[in-house]
Amino acid sequence: MWNKSICLTSRKTTLLIVIVLLSTLVLAGVLYEPENIVEVKETPPEMWIPTEEDIAYQDSMYQIILSTQTDIDTIKANIVYILERLDYEDGSYDSIRYVKGGKIDKRRN
């Protein structure tokens, strides 16, 4: 059966190819099931309304932040006081050997 040469331009071969293609298209059209498309409506996000516990928690966090800021301001003021205390009028220096024109003086200015 396979030893014969097949001519693709013969009338029988062309008719067979057309029938196979058409039957494939018909079967594909019959067996095709379209997907169900579901429309999703976007709802606007609901606004968050804080409860009494939420408000109390936020207030406590705010108080902690204020306390930390006050502590930092106090520390900065003390550092400035210590640096100014090291700068004596008579030219003497403290234990860190503050020298006018030295590393500490350059950083300070």
Average pLDDT by stretches of 10, the chain with 109 residues: 68 88 89 80 87 94 95 83 61 59 65
Split into its structural domains, the chain has a count of 1
- Please tell me the predicted confidence (pLDDT) of residue 65: 95
Domain assignment of residue 41, yes or no: no
Domain assignment of residue 4, yes or no: no
Model pTM score: 0.36
Domain assignment of residue 80, yes or no: yes
Domain assignment of residue 18, yes or no: yes
Domain assignment of residue 38, yes or no: no
- Please tell me the predicted confidence (pLDDT) of residue 67: 95
Task: Using only the alpha carbons of the chain, give its radius of gyration.
Answer: 45
Domain assignment of residue 28, yes or no: yes
Residue with tokens 């976007």, as numbered in its chain: 42
The span from the first CA to the last CA of the chain, in angstroms, equals 103
**Domain range spanning residue 99?**
11-33+50-108
